[in-house]
Amino acid sequence: MPNGADTHCPYCALQCAMTLTPANQPGSAPAPAAAPASLAVPVLDVSGRDFPTNRGGLCRKGWTSASLLRHNGRVTEPMLKGSDGVHQPISWDQALMLITAAVKDTQKQYGMDAVGVFGGGGLTNEKAYLLGKFARLALRTSRIDYNGRFCMSSAAAAGNRAFGVDRGLPFPVQDLDSASVILMLGSNVAETMPPFVQHLQGARDAGGLIVVDPRRSATAAFTADGGGFHLQPTPGTDLALLLGISHVVVHEGLADTEYLRTRTSGYDALIRSLNAFWPERVQSITGVPATLIRETARRLAHGARTGGAYILSGRGVEQHVDGTDTATAAINLSLLLGLPGSARSGYGTLTGQGNGQGGREHGQKSDQLPGYRKITDPAARAHMAKVWNVDESLIPGPGLPAVQLLQSLGQPDGVRCLFVHGANVAVSAPDASAVVDGLRSLDFLVVCDFFMSETAVEADLVLPVTQWAEEEGTLTNLEGRVLRRRKALTPPPGVRSELWLMARLAELLDAPSTFSDDPETVFEELRLASAGGLADYSGIDYAMLDRGEAAYWPYPAGSQGTPRLFADGFAHADGRAVLVPVTPSKRARRSFANAAAPGSLALATGRLLEHYQSGTQTRRVAELAASQPEARLLIHPATAAARNIADGEFVAVSNERGEVVCRAELSNTVRTDTVFLPFHFPGQENANRLTEAATDPISGMPEFKTSRVWVRQAIPVALPTGAGLPLHVKEAS
């Protein structure tokens, strides 16, 4: 890499463009004098690169991303756990033989589905594709799913049933620049993907930025002084709020009747479903004033008529047991207004993980085959059998979505041997304590990672794999744009690509078909596998990506790609979008009306500016860890005062699933009936000790946002070495 490598950030789905250059090269910034590392890895400088999503800007995570490449905690050899619980290095030959024996022994004793695979939304398209193929042909198991089930599954399910296809943003992100009105639903982009905020500036300046969030997040605060406003509903009532806004659109004659007549179906049934949600009733459910409900509908309608209205949804409204229905309600509202497919308006959902879009298209999900094909579709199965050159009967049927997969760990008829790639389920999964118990009950656990994550600590065998700057491949960002990841460094000796690992294991397991460890070769096969599917990549190749050509799927061979979906129709057979009537479920109604638990509060979980996902990477970056070293519970001053809690004091946050101990931070940004806890921290600060493993019946999405908790003072009685957090607490007198 003499002159640097143009690539993309390893974190979120905005996939900001950056250039990596060796420090002290001409034009580079001086290398830091400190930061010794045990690895003989060159120091790299990071610079933002002009690209439509970030326009040269990066967030704090992006600017510091290269520091992890030299981190002295890097796993660089296969590590086997001994009888004393301590991991010791072994050779790759030993590791491969142990895995092969474990798989064969497990399947001989318990059956093929006793081996499972848990993937990640940060894997490249090539690794995600080959992981699905490896699970189904080398392991012969149906038990594969991934952590994208925790963040995108409800939006995907809603998009598929309304539009016939799921692509996060069905338009280029820069289209938002000219918007006069943007309704942001449950997404705090100012902290989760800061460069995205520039695309909201036009709507903010026009007084049309409207943010829906129970917390006054940084994004909600961005509406200040711009003429927009913040809607702060009771947690779990987003669906009712959207039905109320839609009611106004219909009953004030604001709907686009011509669009509805020519481009949608299901209008009559939808109208009947909205009748019970007039603004004053919705105000009594959500706490949002009826005047603001009406004003939101009117502003959206005006923006739609003048050519610049967008509705964007995020995890805040989707990570619920009725998340699919809530996302559907947002889509219904957008269809009533005639937004999807319009020249200067639209609807989209904001993908979170770096390859959250591509990672769910090519075979990691329990019910899908590459190209976004359904695994139960005979035509899809026949297509894949032909590409893989195997008999169709060798391809297993659908497996279990992520939460059910994790609940099956160690069970007599469940998964006994598990592979984990690109995920830290010990921190990120709901009801995390139960998940850790499941990991510990396995006969054999293999984790591929760069660091000893909390999940890796539980593993029998930890395999060192390449980081982002050490590998080639592609990713698909939140717009459905396929991007090139370019290698900037040679990985440390002993580190292997997951493509190499799967190819070697497939050989040892006598798998049918072929398994290459060359990323471009795998991508060429992915192209064939995706051809004719909803997510068709067949017209994309490395050469065009290396030339910088924009590649938005679907991109059939011979086409120019599809930057803007829905301009000519939707993906259903009749070309129409489907309006699907929805209403709050009984469980959701109990959630937002739960006064039967005296003194309880709604727990919302989410991200901080400095950290990403389970924090496996960002908690190891010195600058980020120094800025946000610990979890803090945001609690309203009045709520804290009622419990005699002072700012900075330790508190115990508990429910029937477990307890979290952390410091309290008094803040007016949260409602008096709600507390907020970031989900990046492990151990006693792990927010997912408290979240419920209940799931949306359509998407399998867990309920992350409205768990009921009790908060009390806590007195630390013992401190771990080098940390300011309590090992144990006792109740304050």
Domain contains 343: yes
Do residues 96 and 45 share a domain?
A: no
Domain contains 244: yes
Q: 652 forms bridges with which residues in the sheet? A: 661, 712
In single-letter form, the type of residue at position 691 comes to T
pLDDT level of residue 332 (50, 70, 90 thresholds): very high
pLDDT level of residue 319 (50, 70, 90 thresholds): confident
Do residues 502 and 363 share a domain?
A: yes
Q: 115 forms bridges with which residues in the sheet? A: 417
- Give, to the nearest 10 degrees, the angle between helix 323-336 and helix 153-163: 40
Do residues 511 and 479 share a domain?
A: yes
Q: Note whether 78 and 91 are within 8 A (CB).
A: yes
Domain contains 323: yes
Question: Residue 534 belongs to a domain with what CATH number?
Answer: 3.40.50.740
Do residues 62 and 104 share a domain?
A: no
Do residues 370 and 482 share a domain?
A: yes
Domain end, chosen from 51, 70, 89, is at: 70
Question: What is the DSSP track for 461-509?
Answer: EEEEB--GGG--EEEE-TTSBEEEE---SPPPTT-B-HHHHHHHHHHHT
pLDDT score at 728 = 37
Do residues 62 and 129 share a domain?
A: no
Do residues 109 and 204 share a domain?
A: no
Residue 26 has pLDDT above 90, yes or no: no
pLDDT score at 618 = 92
Q: Note whether 5 and 46 are within 8 A (CB).
A: no
Domain contains 564: no
Q: How many domains does the chain have?
A: 4
Domain end, chosen from 488, 515, 546, is at: 546
pLDDT score at 114 = 98
What is the side-by-side order of every strand in the sheet holding 17-22?
A: 5-8, 17-22, 44-48
Residue 726 has pLDDT above 80, yes or no: no
Range of the domain at 32: 5-70
pLDDT score at 3 = 65
Question: Residue 56 belongs to a domain with what CATH number?
Answer: 2.20.25.90
Tell me the mean pLDDT in the region 344-369.
Answer: 92
Residue 530 has pLDDT above 90, yes or no: yes
Return the H-helix or E-strand segment holding 380: helix 378-388
Domain contains 553: no
Residue 528 has pLDDT above 60, yes or no: yes
What is the per-residue pLDDT across 261-271, written as a single tens digit (0 to 9) for each?
999 999 999 99
Question: What is the DSSP track for 135-183?
Answer: IIIIS--S-EEEGGGGTTHHHHHHHHHHHSS--S-SS-GGGGGG-SEEE
Do residues 631 and 526 share a domain?
A: no
Q: Note whether 121 and 149 are within 8 A (CB).
A: no
**How far is Cα 118 from Cα 100, in angstroms, rounded to an integer?**
18
Give the DSSP letter of residue 66: G
- How far are the Cα atoms of 1, 324, 403 from residue 703, in angstroms, in the given order? 45, 12, 11
Return the H-helix or E-strand segment holding 60: helix 60-63
Question: What is the DSSP track for 270-310?
Answer: HHHHHTT--HHHHHHHH---HHHHHHHHHHHHHHHHHT-EE
Tell me the mean pLDDT in the region 559-563.
Answer: 96
Do residues 486 and 529 share a domain?
A: yes
Do residues 508 and 637 share a domain?
A: no
What is the per-residue pLDDT across 115-151, written as a single tens digit (0 to 9) for each?
999 999 999 999 999 999 999 999 999 999 999 999 8
Q: Which residues contact 643 (CB under 8 A, 6 or more apart)?
A: 711, 712, 713
Domain contains 552: no
Question: Residue 178 belongs to a domain with what CATH number?
Answer: 3.40.228.10
Domain contains 576: no
Question: What is the DSSP track for 658-671?
Answer: EEEEEEEEE-TTS-
As separate numbers, helices (DSSP H) first and strands (DSSP E) second, the chain gives 25, 30
Do residues 178 and 231 share a domain?
A: yes
Q: Which residue has the tokens 């009725």?
A: 322
Domain end, chosen from 329, 349, 369, is at: 349
Domain contains 556: no
Do residues 263 and 327 share a domain?
A: yes
Residue 587 has pLDDT above 70, yes or no: no
Question: Residue 678 belongs to a domain with what CATH number?
Answer: 2.40.40.20
Q: Which residue has the tokens 């769910």?
A: 360
